[in-house]
Amino acid sequence: MKKILSIILAAAATLALATGCNNTNVTVPTVTVPSEIESLVSEGKEIVNELNVAIPTKDRAGNDIKVPEKVEKIVSMAPSTTQFLIDLGLADKIIGIDTNSASYADKLKADIPQFDMMSPDNEAIAALAPDIVFTSGMSSVGGTSPFQSLVDSGICVADIPSPSSISGICEDLEFIGACVGKGMEALAYSKGFTAFMAGIEEIGKNIPAEEQKTVLVMMNVPSAEFPTIYTFGKGTYMNEMLEAIGAKNAFGDKEGWLSISIEEAIAANPDIILMDCNWMPDAADQVKALPGWENVNAIKNGAVYAVNEDLCSRPNQHVAEATLEWAKLIYSDKFNDFTKTFDDTANDFISKVFG
């Protein structure tokens, strides 16, 4: 019998599979099972028929929304949402995407319409007659939504502001799943994400202070014409990624998403530099060659690495994979026991429970 416990505890199994031979003595974290679900499990009830996830009445920005009971046509205006909808098995229901989601076009219907997330063609979107349109904080400038005319026309527009924490990402996943009739699957991803991150933290918290490395994550390569470097401080989910690993953010004393000068970056003297900018060819090599950076520890030790921007910059469950990628680059000796990615194991247990 398919019970909800199979989903939730599979999250812990995710970690058990990921840690391999477990030389680091990581304890598999206990995943909290919601009381109403635990009750159903004790009664031996079937999950899909006996437990319905409530359809949201407010979006993640707090706006009132009316989600149709059955969602068959979806427009996704954020790549993180598009990717998650595909992971939930809903590729066939996506009828429109933002241009930044184009990398997933091969998994969607042929010639799927694409729209600019900053200045969308609302008339064309409305003509698709979507049941729901998912938007993101990336689209709003100064608090003004470019999708207001869709809202005014009665189309359900669900806004998901950019999350600032790992827990916020999990809540976004659960919200999306609840909107599209995949609430239990989304809960499984959320719980799996939480368990996986807890396993990484078990290793990270045991790294002695004197061994902790200072890390600078750069989202571009500075130049004479554009000397600004984009990175982040505390109050961001990426800072939480570094904290989970047991590393120090070079700008963790500052708040939010940051623009820093070349001089500030050099003065921070990071031990590791991670280049989060797939769109810049050979970014790591470019940074290694920057004049005036030769005495920075990361440059002297050749510790400048390109990371997968698609994993870490799209806030969904794949941030778990990104965290592990960062961990292996920063502390390769301490994270070698993680032999499976979260995505591999999540897809495995989702298919077993819902396949």
Query: Hey, what are 127's tokens?
Result: 């003509």
Q: What is the pLDDT of residues 295-335, one digit of tens each?
A: 999 999 999 999 999 999 999 999 999 999 999 999 999 98
pLDDT of residue 191: 80
**Total-model pTM:** 0.85
Q: Considering only CA atoms, which of 248, 249, 246, 272 is closest in space to residue 335?
A: 246
Q: Which residue has the higher pLDDT, 224 or 169?
A: 169
C-alpha closest to that of 174 among 310, 55, 346, 61:
55
Contact 273, 250 (CB under 8 A): no
CA 241 to chain centre: 11
Distance of CA 289 to the CA centre of its chain: 31
Rounded to an integer, what distance in angstroms lies between the CA atom of residue 140 and that of residue 132?
18
Strand order in the sheet with 74-76: 114-115, 94-98, 74-76, 132-136, 157-160
Please check the confidence at residue 37 and state whether its pLDDT lies above 60. Answer: no
On the question of pLDDT at 25 being above 70, the answer is no
pLDDT for the residue 340: 58
Given CATH 3.40.50.1980, say whether it is the number of domain 4-196+344-354: yes
Sign, Cα dihedral of 213, 308, 24, 333: negative
Residues of the chain with CATH 3.40.50.1980: 4-196+344-354, 208-333
- Secondary-structure class of domain 208-333 per CATH: alpha beta
> 292-322: b or e for each residue (b if 16 or more CB lie within 10 Å)?
ebeebebbeeebbbbbebbbbbbbbbbbbbb
Residue predicted with more confidence, 87 or 20? 87
Instruction: Give the number of C-alpha atoms closer than 13 A to the C-alpha of residue 170, restricted to the C-beta side.
Output: 15
> If pLDDT is split at 50, 70 and 90, which confidence band does 38 have?
very low
Query: Is the pLDDT reported for residue 80 higher than 90?
Result: yes
Of 80-84, 202-206, 337-341, where does mean pLDDT reach its minimum?
337-341
The rounded distance, in Å, linking the Cα atoms of 144 and 123 is 18
Residue pair 251/233 in contact by the 8 Å Cβ criterion: yes
Q: 64 or 354: which carries more pLDDT confidence? A: 64
Q: What's the rounded mean pLDDT across residues 42-62? A: 67
For residues 202-215, give the mean pLDDT. Answer: 94
How far apart CA 202 and CA 246 sit, in angstroms, is 9
Mean predicted confidence (pLDDT) in 71-94: 97
Higher pLDDT, 5 or 156: 156
45 vs 313, higher pLDDT: 313
Query: From the centroid of its chain, how far is CA 291?
Result: 34
Q: Going edge to edge, which strands form the sheet with 248-249?
A: 248-249, 214-218, 272-275, 304-306
Within 8 A by CB and 6+ apart from 152, the residues are none
Contact assessment for residue 318 and residue 83, using Cβ atoms and an 8 Å cutoff: yes
Confidence of residue 150 (pLDDT cuts 50, 70, 90): very high
